[in-house]
Chain A
């Protein structure tokens, strides 16, 4: 493939400067930067919350906080990490890189794009404000139901639930806007000659994510709206006394919730192969197989939701159906794993930070997927459901599979975005400390779960003490390590060794044909792909 690229010289439009620039910008790079910055801040906020939780779990008994406050922390931690850290990070990359990768001058609907971002900070404030209000004696704190909002607890909860419902509305509208924008951009704005089967995998991953989002976020919005009217306007969707059904909430929530876990990962599955191929100096293996697998996972993800509540009571045929359909997802996932490994197989690999993260990611995310298979077994899940085994499973998928994948992307593209190289030594240190302390945090939790320690409880039986202490110490290390990440990013934005246009020896793709950093406006003349 050869690219003919025309880069316009930096045009000096009179865009506003200072705060007004960021408030009104419709430039995809500005908006991408805002998403990524917001995500990093919220990652640290959500992390701080869970440090307090691990401190409470350091020893058995209740030392630091009331159980109510503990429950608020775990729920808001999860909501922040999922909706305000992981999702915005993926959207940030989409904004920055999709137009560059497909040779478009900008996103298709720039003003929608600006709105999509600026709904996020108010949503984050809504989520966390009840903590502060409680200090002034207003209400009883943030949402204390866990991130899943299960009725009837969420029908009975305090004002924190209402705040969280409105936050979810805003976050949902923001995601839907972002998704529509991405779909339109990919369909309408590709450079001439870039057919769908020549799209970078990152664009494919995002395309499927975006379709999943517009099909499932409205279901979540509907579910929490029913919750809101149950709480305040006399409906009883989830109230058995009025003829409703609390289990209905679980169906609605997980109809969104399971696709959501793939929404969080598909963009990562998209760009990791690009990183692997760059540092193995080999083309991506099995492009078509990967595209079809991504699509298959997207479709399957909408029909397996009830595996999250096998224990709530279901007829046997339903149990069997949800078990087998869930397990079926691991087939296309296995194809992806195969392709990732084949991509680096016998490559001339070098291990810069992005590659370290990408390889660590394959292994750790693999553990997440395998333990998911264990949970999908109905008979086994009766024992593991709602224990720390589940907590460990979804952290291998979401922290390793999600956040560590995002970190790989950050190190990979940071030189392109800022024009400077980050500190490689510090990056590698960050990787090793993260990988080791992550495993030390969550491996003990698998065993705690197998031994029967329930999740979402601030106290535990004495025999769980040692493993919890190990897990807490490792968690503090993991938390502190992330300061290195922040420091490395900030100093890379500020300055550092000048990055070349290509940045990495083995990089290929349209974004690497542009200067580092790319000018404010790129591809006003679209490149032609042959």
Chain B
């Protein structure tokens, strides 16, 4: 009799510990989903991954005419989007603080209207927070009719606060078919 109740209480203990361990499992799952915003914040704060703020900033007037920074442009069209897309000029030399405008050309080669979304990224990553966009086609999705081609301007400046050792940076655009 005593043995039976001992076994019963042991199996109860076992179950209790099992549930406690299940809490760790639940926490680990929550942690996985928690990593998504955490990672995003971390990237933005550190400029890791070349993520740039995808919002317009207002112009500022301080121009550092003593320095040059070479800004190059590259373009990619991701699978699933039948567009051609490229910058008109592949690079430009700028004074930090001076506002420049460059143009990209996109052409829809499909025979229906297609929406695309451009995603920018800057390398080296540490330069990304100093690359300021005033106006960009990447701020909203672009609808192109069948066969339509469009010239798309980008107005930007490189912040004068950019570290001295950054003499060149690359802005890369990837055009995706826009999420419906």
Contact = CB atoms under 8 A, between A and B. Distances in A.
Interface of A: 108-109, 112, 156, 176, 179-181, 183-184, 187-189, 214-219, 221-223, 226, 234, 236-237, 239-242, 245, 247-248, 251-252, 255, 313-315, 318
B4 interface: no
A214 B176 contact: no
A109 B18 contact: yes
Contact of B177 (A112, A215, A241): A241
B28 A245 contact: no
Interface residues of B, number: 40
Contacts of A252: 32, 35
A211 B11 CA distance: 21
Interface in B12-65: 13-15, 17-18, 21-22, 24-26, 28-29, 31-33, 35-36, 39-40, 43, 46-51
Query: Which interface residue of B25, B40, B48, B126 has the most chain A CB atoms within 10 A?
Result: B25
Nearest to A221: B29
Contacts of B28: 214-219
Q: Choose among B10, B36, B178 the residue with the greatest number of A CB atoms under 10 Å from its CB.
A: B36
A189 B125 CA distance: 54
Contacts of B1: none
Contacts of A183: 17, 21
Interface of B: 10-11, 13-15, 17-18, 21-22, 24-26, 28-29, 31-33, 35-36, 39-40, 43, 46-51, 78-79, 117, 119, 123, 125-126, 174, 176-179
Given A109-B18, A219-B31, A318 B176 contact: no
B18 A180 contact: yes
A241 B78 contact: yes
Contacts of B174: 240
A156 B81 CA distance: 13
A247 B48 CA distance: 11
Given A188-B13, A218-B28, A222-B33, A241 B179 contact: yes
18 contacts: A109-B14, A112-B18, A156-B79, A179-B21, A180-B22, A188-B14, A188-B17, A214-B24, A215-B28, A226-B33, A226-B36, A239-B176, A241-B117, A245-B49, A248-B36, A251-B35, A313-B125, A315-B125
Contacts of B35: 219, 248, 251-252, 255
A241 B21 contact: no
Closest 6 CB pairs of A and B: A222-B32, A241-B176, A218-B28, A218-B29, A108-B14, A219-B32
Contacts, number: 99
B119 A241 contact: yes
Given A217-B25, A245-B49, 16 more contacts: A108-B14, A108-B17, A109-B15, A176-B25, A183-B21, A184-B18, A215-B28, A218-B28, A219-B29, A226-B33, A237-B36, A239-B176, A240-B174, A240-B176, A248-B39, A251-B39
Contacts of A240: 119, 174, 176
A188 to B, nearest CB: 5
A251 to B, nearest CB: 6
B129 to A, nearest CB: 12
Contacts of B24: 214-215
A11 to B, nearest CB: 15
B80 to A, nearest CB: 8
Contacts of A216: 28
B32 A315 contact: no
Nearest to A222: B32
A218 B32 contact: yes
A158 to B, nearest CB: 14
Contacts of B11: 108
A27 to B, nearest CB: 16
Given A183-B17, A313-B49, A239 B179 contact: yes
A242 B180 CA distance: 10
B32 A221 contact: yes
Contacts of A236: 179
